[in-house]
Structure 1
Amino acid sequence: MNGPGARSGGRRGDRRDKDQDSGFCFDLSCLPNRKEDIPPKNSNQLSPSSEPVEDIEKASVNAIFRMALAIQAEGKLDEACKLYEQIVVLDRDHLDSWYNLGHIREEQQNSKEAVRCLKEALRINPDDKESHLLMAYAMESLEDIQGAVTHYKEATRIDPTCTNAHYNLANAYHDMNMLDESASEYRKVLEIEPENVDCYFNLGVVLQDAGQLGEALASYEAASRLNPALEDATTAANGIKAFMAESASEPSVP
């Protein structure tokens, strides 16, 4: 007997995806550029000539960082990178400059350079969630799925409510045919976002692949209830129902 009807659209991406085929999140807009708390100038500040050397360097770093952020906001990414690179020469432990460098390089599709910069950010703070997420995107761009999984897992360790990391981790596990792990991550997303239509649909795909047709049907039907216009979910649910009805009508083999 043939199995239930083939899925018409495969796994669905959601608002986090640019690459519908891979299912991974590449939308860097969900990771805003980091901005450190820089105090505003005031008339009581000392002139540079009267400041200790270390204070002069700090003031210089702060000024360059403000300039880099402004230039980056204007879309002048190469110019912003030059300024961030100046900062990390002055202060190798300037986390936000390393992060913003990595962010720009990944946006420019220079993932190898993004990884180099983000390694520095994570050297400074191994528990920086955004750096782990961006590192995962860069590694997936380099087709290092296992590396991406490692950093998505770190992001969920740091912030168990990070649905972005759970969702993309679920997609990665599915691509690796780790179906139980994939289903578990989708369910974690749904605990936080109980009306995530695409997550219900993707969970249905994983459960169907695992042969858990009853649970897959429930997931597809949940997606259909939340979005009645989602034809993929309706088609998948009807295919499972037809298969289950056909199976029930067949005589048992003695």
Structure 2
Amino acid sequence: MISLKNIVKTYGNKQVLKNLSVDFPDGKTTVILGPSGSGKSTLLRSLDLLVRPESGTLNFSDLQLDYSKPVSKKLSFDVRKKTSMVFQNWNLFPNLTVLKNITTAPETVLGKSKKETEERAHKLLAQVGLSEYADRYPSQLSGGQQQRISICRALAMDPEYILLDEPTSALDPELETQVLLILEELSKMGQAMIIVTHNMEFARSVADKIVFVEDGDILFDGSTDEFFNHPTTRIKDFLSGITFNEEK
């Protein structure tokens, strides 16, 4: 389990995370929801140290980290080795083939052999329906295909948790569906994921747990059923606004 306690993060004069505490269970999918600018992505990126809060603690399996103290390279490496991040804009290496995009990090970071990483990459490509694309370059792929490759690249690191920051926001609806189906299958397989998204139907179908963040505070931390079927007044307003915007 990942446990964050009393997390504070400030940008300039704005406190983005306000003494926030939350747990993310093993083998489950947690979806982080909230209005734009609420602190969702900052919270997610704190988990693998892409963002460094000023204070608070991170407990991750056997690792403990105090954000207010210097973090050694070894501790930073150990934390990041347990997670893989998937961004909204893919971030594939344009000069590398699909196969090399997937195998480079396991070889250089984890020290795995070329044979082992390539076998794993081909299995992952088959899993996402892209077996024939191994020798292509990112520029030869659609956005949805590139995002599926990004997910393969994350899985190739055998992370305990995959962190996904608005993974489909840059895709049109058809391509978004392709990616969401892959994530739904991973969730069913018990791959722990923490996902920031604005897609309410996806959140409803895939989440084991919902965390609702607004203005740097957690206003809800509980089951998907409770969030959608027994919402507070504020959550009702949020869901109504999301639905209205999607239907316009």
TM-score, normalization: structure 2?
0.29
Q: Which has the higher helix share?
A: 1
TM-score, reference length from structure 1: 0.28
Say which structure is richer in strand. 2
